Chains A and B, each alone.
Chain A
Amino acid sequence: MKVSFPYMGCVTGYKKVFETLGHEVVMPQKPTQKTIDLGVKYSPEFICFPFKVIMGTYIEAVQAGANVIVASGGNGPCRAGLYGEIHQKILKSMGHDVKFIVFDSMFRDFGLFYDNLKKIKNKIPIIKVLKNLWLSYQIICRMDEIEKEIKVLRAYEQKRGDFNRVWLEIQRMYDGCWTQKDIDKVTEQARKMLQEVPLKKVEEEEKIRIGIVGEIYVIMESSTNMDIEQTLNSMGIEVESVQYISDWVKHNIQPNFIGGSKSHQVIHKAKRFVKMNLGGHDMENIGWMVDFKERGFDAVVHLMPFGCLPELITQSAIPTISQELDLPILSLSLDEQNGTANNRTRIEAFVDLVRNKKRGGSVQKKEVKEPEYTDKVPEELAG
């Protein structure tokens, strides 16, 4: 079996899973403009942006020789739960015969879950499979932790690009881990490497922190969000994003009754704004906005793919939330029409506003009179 999977977050970890199970892995490539164009060409027009990017990734993987694709499923009401089925249908209509293994929640249909597990476990005893999964999970957790740190430190690097170089090196190091011992050793080494990067000295009150919330795929995949984290870092701003694969796994396997993961806890903070979750990470995101405010962050950037069903409700609520929390929130909706200049201008203006607010410059509120709409069609022409 030549296995491939969506390019999302910490791919080194997934690669490890399949390699330890003895499969050949066709490594999906980081999405480029070509990937996106390819995906857009074969996807339904109004489907969400992540679908199109993943479609492009799959097509490239299949062209590179993959014949099995492993993906995660879902049970609604967000569209992401049907990705696997539609991707498969489209690939089939293109003439590619690819097997899809879609993992849905094991609590919903354990039989199917077990069948899928049997398909990929390659006659390796279940204990060993679990051990391998744990190893990969450890790698993902450690890498996510380091990435989190980098997003803070990168704001103060003296020479632009230092941290990115270090990060690439660290990724390569983790790729060569096969035992727990390796992981510990590499982690230690990685931390040392991070400490060695020269930093600028910035006063505590000058530091600006921005939280990133939103839809999981566009947050994680920098090529779909115009590298917003890097952009903000290069303006000297610390960034914390809320979506990591390790957190997602924790959220899904750690039962609620033993405390639950952090993302379970923040959901309670959203209760004053919305009543229930709509199937995506929408309620969690509102919770994170409250959480960021409580932790003294200066602003929040909300990312969503164009037309994302659950996040549209969040977007509708953002003006109210922003006002009630006294927290600047910028909502960016992303799709294949990536007008980089437009978004960059918006981000820069937003950052200026945040800086000004932090320095105590008051934003004077003026009563803005809504302009009269003049595009009304005269009665006799309207018919």
Chain B
Amino acid sequence: MRIGLPRALLYHYYYPLWKSLFEQLGVEIVISDITSKQLVQEGVKVTVPEICLPIKIFNGHIINLLSKEVDYIFIPRFIGVESGKWFCPKFIGLPELADYTIDGVKSKILTVDIQGKKESTCEWTNYRPLCEALQVTPKELKKALKTAERVWQHFRDCCKQGFTIEEAEKMCSEDMRGSERTAHHTHDITLGVLGYVYNVYDPFVSMDIIKKLHGMNVRVITFEMLDEKRIHEKFKRKSKNLYWTFTDKIYGAAVELMENHQIDGLIHITAFGCGPDSIVGKMMELDSEKFKKPFMTIRVDEHTGESHLLTRIEAFVDMIKRQKISERRRELA
């Protein structure tokens, strides 16, 4: 049996988990191609025009998978992984959205409802529908979930040591120890790059911003490198919280990084039409004025030109570097 995983949305965050899970259950995994202009165009053609870019890309990946002769396409419905918090409504309606926008996908959708209190999603009730679809016993599924959870936890630990998701994934699959590699390149400045995994780690959306920054001698910190406990619920006020799980993480990370004197600036990467980001972006903008941290928003859509992005990042980095040099001179004087 072949199951397709779209290389989009939360794939980047949960890939090690799903890989381990499906492999243990004796299923072949087929991953869609890396996002390309062609693939995005396919998605744009079928999706409603005003929806956010990541969903258009997601649909592109599903169309890509349909051409790869898979038996199922795994589209989990993310409802919530913490109590009192949700995912963006588009995640909750994802299976329907795919079903209604793409022809011929209905019979292939394999969906599970992710609703629980564990970030690893590894509550067995979540994945119960897999038993019937993949013809495995509940016992096998439970066992596989346990191992998968451990693998994912290891992957998260790697992230928290300061590795990017790509590096952490590689480390997990090659089973390297954290000490064998070093996350800390030499660097002039440190920047926080804030954005959802499907924006920052998608080479089309972010245009490999992390690699570009590394190339400019910049150390990059993203939200998944920080400890959950420290970034948890910075927004909290009585009973009201920022009720989208990942948005809350981003905002928490932003506040944490703004309070940190070793961080020189922040870049927020957001996709056109992102709902939660419209709120959290404004909050970060207001906060950055309060903390006096350089802050830049990069908004990408399906038309973004690469050179314009590069110019903006270079200018931002140069500005911070110069400021740092002049500060150091002043200290010496």
A residues in contact (CB < 8 Å) with B: 43-48, 73, 75-79, 81-82, 85-86, 89-90, 93, 102, 104, 108-109, 112, 273-276, 278-280, 282, 306-307, 309-310, 312-313, 315-317, 319-320, 333, 373, 376-377, 382
Contact = CB atoms under 8 A, between A and B. Distances in A.
B316 interface: no
Contact of A90 (B89, B95, B278, B282): B282
Nearest to A113: B239
Interface string B263-286: 000000000111111110111001
Given A44-B279, A309-B89, A377-B37, 13 more contacts: A46-B278, A47-B282, A75-B240, A76-B243, A77-B88, A81-B243, A89-B283, A104-B239, A274-B96, A276-B92, A282-B89, A313-B97, A376-B38
A319 B100 contact: yes
B37 A382 contact: yes
B57 to A, nearest CB: 15
A119 to B, nearest CB: 14
B93 A86 contact: no
A76 B47 contact: no
A320 B100 contact: yes
A82 B242 contact: yes
Nearest to B276: A79
Q: Which of B84, B93, B242, B283 has the most CB of A within 10 A?
A: B93
A319 B79 CA distance: 25
B51 interface: yes
11 contacts: A79-B276, A79-B278, A89-B283, A90-B282, A93-B286, A112-B239, A280-B89, A313-B96, A316-B51, A333-B50, A377-B37
B273 A46 contact: yes
B289 to A, nearest CB: 8
Nearest to A375: B41
B105 to A, nearest CB: 13
B176 interface: no
Given A46-B278, A77-B89, A79-B278, A85 B286 contact: no
Contacts of B79: 276
A317 B274 contact: no
Nearest to A81: B243
Contact of B89 (A47, A112, A278, A306): A278
A320 B45 CA distance: 17
Nearest to A304: B50
A317 B96 contact: yes
A309 B88 contact: yes
B244 interface: yes
A315 B100 CA distance: 10
A316 B274 CA distance: 17
Given A112-B238, A382-B37, A89 B100 contact: no
A27 B90 CA distance: 36
Interface in B59-113: 77, 79, 84-90, 92-93, 95-97, 100-101
Contacts of A274: 93, 96
A78 B279 contact: no
Contacts of A315: 48
A316 B89 contact: no
A109 B48 contact: no
B82 to A, nearest CB: 12
**4 closest Cβ pairs, A-B complex:** A76-B243, A109-B239, A77-B86, A313-B93
A132 B273 CA distance: 43
A80 B189 CA distance: 38
Q: Which of A109, A274, A373 has the most CB of B within 10 A?
A: A274
Contact of A310 (B50, B89, B244, B277): B89
A59 B85 CA distance: 31
Nearest to A108: B239
B250 to A, nearest CB: 14
Contact of A312 (B48, B86, B277, B279): B48
Contacts of A310: 89, 93
B92 A77 contact: yes
Contacts of B38: 376
B207 to A, nearest CB: 12
B240 A104 contact: yes
Contacts of A102: 240
B282 A86 contact: yes
B275 A316 contact: no
B279 A82 contact: yes
Given A79-B276, A109-B239, A307-B273, A313 B90 contact: yes
A53 to B, nearest CB: 15
Interface string B229-273: 000000001111011100000000000000000000000000011
Interface in B276-320: 276-279, 281-283, 286, 289
A278 B92 contact: yes
Contact of B274 (A46, A89, A108, A320): A46
A47 B285 CA distance: 14
A77 B243 contact: yes
Contact of B100 (A93, A275, A317): A317
Nearest to B115: A276
Contact of A44 (B50, B240, B282): B282
Contacts of A112: 238-239
Given A89-B283, A316-B101, A47 B278 contact: yes
A73 B279 CA distance: 15
Nearest to B92: A278
A280 B237 CA distance: 23
Contacts of B89: 77-78, 278-280, 282, 309-310, 312-313
A316 B88 contact: no
A43 B109 CA distance: 39
Interface in B207-241: 237-240
Contacts of A278: 89, 92-93
Contact of A45 (B45, B87, B93, B278): B278
Nearest to A42: B282
A342 B130 CA distance: 48
A44 to B, nearest CB: 4
A108 to B, nearest CB: 6
Nearest to A93: B286
